[in-house]
Structure 1
Amino acid sequence: MPQQPDRVAIVTGGTDGIGLCTAWHLARLGLHVIIVEFLHCDLASVRSIWRFVHNFKAKRLPLHVLVNNAGVMMVPQRKTEDGFEEHFGLNYLGHFLLTNLLLSTLKESGSPDHRARVVTVSSATHYVGELHMDDLQGSRGYSPHGAYAQSKLALVLFTYRLQRLLQARGDPVTANAVDPGVVDTDLYRHVCWGTRLLKRLLGWLLFKTPEEGAWTSVVAAVSPELEGRGGHYLYNGRETPSRDVTYDRKLQQNLWARSCELVG
């Protein structure tokens, strides 16, 4: 990848795991990287992040790359401070709001020949996810796996809708979703004991390292081959089809509208 010393990136959840490795790779390429902790995300915190970046903007510091990486996986049923189911609130809604708040800065930082980029980390779990538009918070029956899969499905739908809006307006920003694969990180601490045991015994064989898992995010963030190209789902650094339902434009629009209502 080419060196990019004049560009600025934000990586959410960049203190460990895939996020830390993503930040490290980008920094080695010369980007100025801002790490945002998202573990106890609420919408007030997201707006605080925006104000922080807005101060950068006042000092003429740009923002070229936003990596929506932070997340939780298969946690017990619990809510964010705003009252949202934690997977949906932290994995999806927090990133939905943050991206929209930062869009003006991204647009001003991009150019027709070197666009700003939004990279959103989804998961292969989205292939089995179901989006319950009438019960996004899982109030009628909670499943940790179902809630996690729904949040990752929502991120892909959001990415495709975002790209369509950016393209329609001619904004110099692209949006892509990435799948890091099965990665050996602390996200698995809430899975069942059998899975944790399997991970401990065979993780070195079956799981990617965090460095390997971060690579697709890095490709989406800086690869010259993706210049000006958005609305894709990337796995192992390459474009691959996402689940059929993610291309449903009506569903994309409905989720976007409902998300706007939820975040105010």
Structure 2
Amino acid sequence: MRSIRQFVQNFQKKRVPLHVLVNNAGVMMVPQRQTEDGFEEHFGLNYLGHFLLTNLLLGSLKEAGSPGRCSRVVTVSSATHYVAELNMQDLQGSSSYSPHGAYAQSKLALVMFSYHLQRLLDAQGCHVTANVVDPGVVDTDLYKHVFWGTRLVQKALGWLLFKTPDEGSWTSVHAAVSPELEGVGGRYLYNEKETKSLEVSYDQRLQRQLWAQSCQMTGISDVTSEAVSGRLIT
């Protein structure tokens, strides 16, 4: 979290416009371990890091957006979210840890974060949109902690079964620059097309609970009134 806040401060000192933010950092199925801040690594890196970064940069995104040319937040989730459960009583997986479950939960949290963020932006009348994308199965180093059989398949048949990194980026690029998505937010995109996410991801009550708890975890007191209005929260 400290490095994210430092990055935001360094970026804002440059005084350059920010039109697109793509949240794409991640780990997958790592052993149970914690970030420097004490968060379970999937939840802390895949989700909370993006949550904090996005909210601290919302002021810059808002300033760069204008009618007919909205700034855009693109968050990379995964089809794994379809098998996820969001455990609001144990988001850190401290009582029962599963690498797959923790990864899937972090990706579901990103979907719900994007939907709720879009509603907040709409309520504020901001010229910023937030969408979430599924890149598909991409041949990258993300699989180094998965089951050895899966790694073997990737090594032997990745060229045939998996997308290349370039192909895996297409939906993110589409969400970032496509004219047809101008002013359109709160969408889940796969292969450059809108599709439905897991049914529970549309639960607005659960979205609000996740948002409120995420604010507490990252030290953001009131994102709705402060970050969206353009003031950097430290």
TM-score range, shorter-chain basis?
over 0.9
1:190 and 2:145 aligned: yes
The structural deviation recorded for 1:209 is 0.5
Structure 1 runs, 4 residues or longer, greater than 6 Å off: none
The structural deviation recorded for 1:204 is 1.4
In structure 2, the residue corresponding to 1:76 is in which secondary structure? coil
Q: What is the correspondence of 1:11-160 to structure 2 with a 5 Å cutoff?
A: 43-57=1-15, 61-160=16-115
**Structure 2 CA distance for aligned equivalents of residues 170 and 261 of structure 1:** 25
1:255 and 2:210 aligned: yes
The structural deviation recorded for 1:116 is 0.2
In structure 1, the residue corresponding to 2:208 is in which secondary structure? helix
**Structure 2 CA distance for aligned equivalents of residues 176 and 56 of structure 1:** 26
The aligned residue for residue 178 of structure 1 is 133
Give the number of equivalent residue pairs: 219
In structure 1, the residue corresponding to 2:5 is in which secondary structure? helix
Higher relative contact order (CA 8 A, sep 6+): 2
The AA in structure 2 aligned to 1:51 is Q
**Structure 1 CA distance for aligned equivalents of residues 201 and 147 of structure 2:** 29
TM-score (norm 2): 0.93
Unaligned runs of 5+ in 2: 220-234
The AA in structure 2 aligned to 1:261 is Q
The aligned residue for residue 177 of structure 2 is 222
Q: Deviations over 1:4-48 (max 9, x none)?
A: xxxxxxxxxxxxxxxxxxxxxxxxxxxxxxxxxxxxxxx001101
**Structure 1 CA distance for aligned equivalents of residues 155 and 53 of structure 2:** 35
The structural deviation recorded for 1:52 is 1.2
The structural deviation recorded for 1:200 is 1.1
**Structure 2 CA distance for aligned equivalents of residues 63 and 255 of structure 1:** 26
TM-score (norm 1): 0.82
The AA in structure 1 aligned to 2:114 is T
Aligned-pair identity in percent equals 73
**Structure 1 CA distance for aligned equivalents of residues 7 and 19 of structure 2:** 16
**Structure 2 CA distance for aligned equivalents of residues 204 and 109 of structure 1:** 40
Unaligned runs of 5+ in 1: 1-42
The structural deviation recorded for 1:109 is 0.4
